[in-house]
Amino acid sequence: RWLPKYSARTSVGDITSLRVITAVKTPYLPDGRFDLGAYDLLINMQIEGGAEGVIVGGTTGEGHLMSWDEHIMLIGHTVNCFGSKIKVVGNTGSNSTREAIHATEQGFAVGMHAALHINPYYGKTSVEGLISHFEAVLPMGPTIIYNVPSRTGQDISPAIIEAVSSFSNMAGVKECVGHERVKCYTDKGITIWSGNDDECHDSRWKYGATGVISVASNLIPGLMRKLMYEGENTVLNEKLLPLMKWLFCQPNPIALNTALAQLGVTRPVFRLPYVPLPLEKRVEFVRIVESIGRENFVGQKEARVLDDDEFVLISRY
């Protein structure tokens, strides 16, 4: 008897084995809607470059600028078009438990392989509240918890991670706090992805991290795969650090959005409150591309410095 796929969920092991997960950018049309054509090409570039998973609608993908129906649609679309080639991790987290529950149910229903869950940023809550929040969504499917206190205003402490680690769906943590924290977890057998591109090489090779959930891999998926798969390589890491620093010179994904537009991979359309990097930083990017080699970046067009008036900023969409 044929069984619906719905009962045949992704196993947690299918998630913990991923080393290169791209927090993929969401490209836009000039009216602010998703540019699915560009998105599909982007995902294709990730697959060809060796990324093994994507975060859909993460902070990099500007999930917080999407309506939930757009967000779930994008997850479903990604699964439908690419789900057999790459693991689809939906950022169905929210600072509202209701929203997190609803989105996570819907995300798994449309086939996402795993959920990414943030702690309730901005609103914040108590330790007991945090645990209740995660417990409300963990039964639904494989889950990565995301700790980024510089955005959320609140650290998810190891005690909390340990409290929720009893759930069989707990795949691991996307951790941004640093090497020491990474080591504290990996010593205990908890799977960690570095959330900081500039630390991921050391996290991986010195502190036991499994891999990276990367912004840089939007641009250089092949090199990020090399960095995570082919052993310690300080030469490569040093070579990439200027790019990684540049990507975070302003709150992500400002620089990434600017970069992909300048590579001719996406249209230069920004949803506010994001605006492009200033000219000198745009010039700097083209130099960085030259130093690393255009062939290592996604896209085929020449990298060029866009003018201010080539960018489209959208506030109603």
Residues in region 267-306 near a copy of itself by CB under 8 A: 271-275, 277-278
CB 260, CB 27: distance < 8 Å: yes
Whichever of 65 and 209 has its CB closer to a copy of itself, that residue is: 65
| Binding of residue 110 to a copy of itself (CB under 8 A) | yes
Whichever of 48 and 187 has its CB closer to a copy of itself, that residue is: 48
Q: Which member of 25, 28, 87, 146 is catalytic?
A: 146
Q: How far is the CB of 39 from a copy of itself (least distance, A)?
A: 9
| Binding of residue 2 to a copy of itself (CB under 8 A) | yes
Q: Show contacts with a copy of itself in window 114-133 (CB under 8 A).
A: 118, 120-126, 128-130, 132-133
146 is catalytic: yes
Q: Which string of b and e fits 23-62 if b means at least 16 CB within 10 Å?
A: bbbbbbbeebebbbebbebbbebbbebbbbbbbbbbbbbb
Out of 54, 56, 79, 145, point to the residue binding a copy of itself (CB under 8 A).
79
Q: How far is the CB of 126 from a copy of itself (least distance, A)?
A: 4
Report residue 171 CA to chain centroid gap.
Answer: 16
Out of 29, 81, 286, 305, point to the residue binding a copy of itself (CB under 8 A).
81
CB 71, CB 63: distance < 8 Å: yes
Strand partners, 34: 28
* Close Cβ partners of 84 (under 8 Å, ≥ 6 residues apart): none
CB 54, CB 89: distance < 8 Å: yes
Sole residue written with tokens 């537009």? 261
Helix-helix angle 234-247:279-292, to 10 degrees: 160
Amino acid making up residue 173? V
Q: How far is the CB of 146 from a copy of itself (least distance, A)?
A: 11
Whichever of 65 and 298 has its CB closer to a copy of itself, that residue is: 65
String of contacts with a copy of itself for each residue 243-262, x by CB under 8 A: -------xx--x--------
Out of 29, 36, 184, 286, point to the residue binding a copy of itself (CB under 8 A).
36
3-state SS string for 233-281: CHHHHHHHHHHHHHHCCCCCCHHHHHHHHHCCCCCCEEECCCCCCCHHH
Whichever of 33 and 206 has its CB closer to a copy of itself, that residue is: 33
Q: Which member of 174, 185, 207, 274 is catalytic?
A: 174
- Residues annotated as catalytic are 146, 174
